[in-house]
Structure 1
Amino acid sequence: MQPQLSPSAQLMQMVFGFIPARAISLAAELGIADLLKDGAKSVQELSVATDSHSRSLYRLLRVCASVGVFSENENNQFANTVLSDLLRSDSPESLKDFSIMIGDNTQFKTWGRFDYAVKTGQPAFDEVFGMPYFDFIGINPKEAKTFNDAMTGMSIGSSMAVLDAYDFSGINMLVDVGGGHGFLLASILNKYPDMQGINFDVPALKADAEALFAQHGVSNRSHFDSGDFFQTVTTGGDAYIMKHIIHDWNDQQCIAILSNCRKGIKKGGKVLLVEMVLPDGNEPSMGKLLDLQMLSVLPGCERTRAEYADLLEKSGFALTQIVPTLSPYSVIEGVAV
């Protein structure tokens, strides 16, 4: 049994927290978990396969293994664990692309000016790169692909949790606003065969979304609409769903998006927000960490129940329930009034 760390040792461990995050990200980028999918390998084998310095790669993987991502056996070989399996490209809930994005140079450059965000209330990203994040990925195809692949990877686990927790019965037409590649919508349509759906997002995602709908066998019950959700959204839905969208934007921007949804829906229709809901007090929460990511990169934030209720009320909805899931996300339900 290890002795309890002193307060100074505990704090030092926290301060070094960026190191395992960057190590995991680089291991994902090098494809280590994919190389280990058929069994353990030596560092020498892995260094050849990744064109890496053997001793340095060992030091990287030793840190990853110390936090449960990979394991080293008595023969000095590394193998996958439950956690590192999530870095495999073929994992059903792969976080490979998300891990690469969070630990890449773009993110680290942004966090280097985190002080700017705290002092001004404006995203550090804008200060570092001279433009908002979504404008930046709009002119950088590689960054855009990294972002969209990361969001799709994140979507798989949270989408399944949402499907298990929330009852979509009675919705005939579901509009997914900012639906990206369309995984959530396709998954819902698969479970509810009488439902139809519309994926609303930027034009650049149309081909990928339509391919995903075809892959899931729901092309005949879905289509893709494009536009700017700050200006308008597709009308005629019984319900509008947004996953990981509202947290990207400040209160005024959120009210604009939600108000556009309200214009497209009849009284009694629903808006469903899939987001992390912050607990009160000192309780640890992934949402509190993600909130600082929003502060650093985007104008948005994570919110409490009371803050979501306020946004909904100002947009023509009433908060009716918050449904927790087995993921960090909840389904926040509002009804049009």
Structure 2
Amino acid sequence: MTRHAESDDPFMPSALHDLMFGHIHSAALRAVAVHRIPDHLADGPRTPEELASRTGTDAGALRRVMRLLASRGVFREDDRGAFRLEELGQPLRTGVPGSQHAGVVMITSPMFARSAPRLQDTLETGQPSFDYIYGMPFFEHLLKSPEDRATFDAGMAAFSGAEDELVAQSYAFPPDSRVIDVGGGRGGLLGAVLRGEPSLSGVLFDQSATVAEHVLDRPELAGRWRTEGGDFFTAVPSDGDVYLLKHILHDWDDEDCLRILGSIRRAARTGARLLVVDAVLPGNSAPHPALELDIVMLMALKGRERTAAEFESLLDRAGFRLRRILPTPGLPAIVEAVAV
């Protein structure tokens, strides 16, 4: 069969082809992550038969899934039919620095995978498709499903953990400041900030069950932090010099964001700094790594990724003045504002 130019050949792979089959690639990635296939390739290539024996999977099915992912650069198949883990697939391993295993399992979980096909309904109503599938909002579901909450918490820790040091190193925190991490989870970012400047002290603020699992109990941080449980929609600790909001505002619509920012403004003295750590989208349709995340927000929550102009407007309405936006080596930027 003679090959024709790409525009004339219906069998030629194309960007549209990849978009159409994106959910297949995602399902394949989840399958090898859940069965820890990359962990079994840490010592070198193995055949699907060897991997199947180790993981309790079917060798024939495994070969076909790995073949697809090899075409995307996750694995490479050698002449004897053994697969090795490529650089792209290394973060799929568990227990290694920068592991994204838990993040992949979270994003490809049924929580999001089941919501995606109903995105068409969201286009009609503007409401999260997650609510139709599960019969309740996302965070309410997490409170009632310990398994999904554990998946979510582990996934967020995987994503955030890789960013915390980068964010902490990208901003010069004023010496002797009190840093309040609002919605700070288990304290990964606060810990990185405190390690970077020994004169700082901090408060980790989140729901009581979350801060109870904090990771701040380390010798080098002794005596410089405390935890506090509460609801950031109602009130947050007062008298902070710097308030942190990392990956919080993107979970909520503007009105809920104003409630969170209002709690901070009531607690903060005039002149206190607010650092919003979130992706900042370009003001056009230019490619950006957070555009997919914006659709996750659309179909699962009422949140959104925002542009610089949208952040400025939101902050102004809440009593803060935008000072500057600092890039980091990772996905989020640091949106710096001051209480006025």
Normalised-by-shorter TM-score class: over 0.9
Q: Identity over the aligned pairs, expressed in percent?
A: 35
Structure 2-normalised TM-score?
A: 0.94
The equivalent of 2:267 in structure 1 is 264
1:225-271 CA deviation, whole Å, 9 max, x = no partner? 11111111111211111111100000000011011111111111111
| Letter of the 1:113 counterpart | R
Q: How does 1:1-337 map to 2 (within 5 A)?
A: 5-6=6-7, 9-170=14-175, 172-209=177-214, 212-215=215-218, 217-337=220-340
Contact kept? 1:203, 1:226, Cα under 8 Å? yes
User: 1:21: how far off?
Assistant: 1.7
- Secondary structure at the aligned position of 1:267 is classed as coil
**Partner Cα distance (2:207, 2:144) in 1:** 14
User: 1:280: how far off?
Assistant: 2.3
**Partner Cα distance (1:179, 1:54) in 2:** 43
- Secondary structure at the aligned position of 2:203 is classed as strand
Indicate the RMSD between aligned Cα atoms, in angstroms. Answer: 1.8
Provide structure 2 residue ranges, at least 5 long, that are not aligned to the other structure: none
User: 1:207: how far off?
Assistant: 2.8
How many residues in Structure 1 have an aligned counterpart in Structure 2? 334
1:104-136 CA deviation, whole Å, 9 max, x = no partner? 222221112111212111111111111111110
Provide structure 1 residue ranges, at least 5 long, that are not aligned to the other structure: none
Contact kept? 1:92, 1:156, Cα under 8 Å? no
Q: Which ranges of 4 or more aligned residues in structure 1 deviate by more than 6 Å?
A: none
Contact kept? 1:126, 1:133, Cα under 8 Å? yes
Contact kept? 1:186, 1:216, Cα under 8 Å? no
User: 1:311: how far off?
Assistant: 0.6
- Secondary structure at the aligned position of 2:245 is classed as strand
| Letter of the 2:35 counterpart | L
Which structure has the bigger radius of gyration? 2
**Partner Cα distance (1:133, 1:246) in 2:** 15
Relative to 1, partners in 2 of residues 1:37 and 1:195: Cα closer, same or farther, differing over 3 Å? Answer: same
| Letter of the 2:57 counterpart | S
Relative to 1, partners in 2 of residues 1:3 and 1:30: Cα closer, same or farther, differing over 3 Å? Answer: farther
Structure 1-normalised TM-score?
A: 0.94
